Amino acid sequence: MNRWLITGASGMLGREVCRLLTAEGECALPLDRRSLDLTDTRAVEFTLRRARPTVVVNCAAYTDVDAAETHEQQAWRVNADAVRGLALACARRGVRLLHVSTDYVFAGDATTPYAEDAPTGPRTAYGRSKLAGERAVLTALPHTGTVVRTAWLYGAHGRNFVRTMAERALRDATVQVVNDQTGQPTPARDVAERLLALGRGPARPGVFHATVGGLTTWYDLARDVYRLAGSDPDRVHPTGSAALDRPARRPAWSVLGHDRWAAAGLPAPRHWRVALADEFAAVTATLEGAISCAR
């Protein structure tokens, strides 16, 4: 049986990975930023030596896309330099590493799903730092390092688009949502399950894309959330990305291909609309009570 070490364990994805491992009775050590500073190479070495994991799942990252535009050095320190240190430490101890990355490593201007080996071309500081982290993993661990890219992640923990739209829907609020960005809204549980599948089988080095199937826009996703919440989807109004005037450019196209799953003998991902319907109750479980108390 594997001994798992999870970094970023207090985040949306990290918590889901730990929940699944605990439910299945596996040995897992969850570490958040207070428990392990990944930028401290000595602390990383000490932790791996003491914990003796067989698989490390790195869910930790600097994820403030807009702040990274003015704090690129800080984003690079966490998303690139710390990942390089972790990958080298894993290489020295013979530990497999599953590293979570992002669609932001691509330019976001495609019209067909990005394949796992498609040329990268990040257009944000965040994307550049994450791409450097990917390369560090694949260089240090050519046989036991796996990069798992995801996009449009949502779940029961932390702030995310689905929870925010559900909260607005339960208040019958009118919202404006961009209709010129296309992607795959992906539950954290689906990504966690993919990570565990990769960690349990034989080492599968290289890049995998862990998103759901199909595609939609933020606008159409918001309308589906409103329907599921029992609110009028016509309260969702379309707008363009330019109206948001954010520091970091958002990819217009965040659709990822999944060919490597079939090649690895693993099942294809479920459709995003099926996933949303299945996950909606869990993702929004705490919202109604909170809204009732605020009224």
- The residues that are catalytic are 126
DSSP, residue by residue, 160-223: -HHHHHHHHHHTT--EEEESS-EE--EEHHHHHHHHHHHHHSS---EEEE---BS-EEHHHHHH
CA dist 162 and 165 (Å) reads 5
Q: What angle do CA 136, 139, 143 make, to 5 degrees?
A: 125
Structure tokens at 161: 């688009």
CA dist 161 and 12 (Å) reads 13
In single-letter form, the type of residue at position 41 comes to T
CA dist 141 and 152 (Å) reads 27
Q: What angle do CA 265, 118, 271 make, to 5 degrees?
A: 50
Q: Which of 261, 269, 250, 181 is nearest to 217 (CA)?
A: 181
Q: What angle do CA 105, 108, 111 make, to 5 degrees?
A: 130
Q: Which of 144, 133, 29 is nearest to 84 (CA)?
A: 133
CA dist 290 and 167 (Å) reads 9
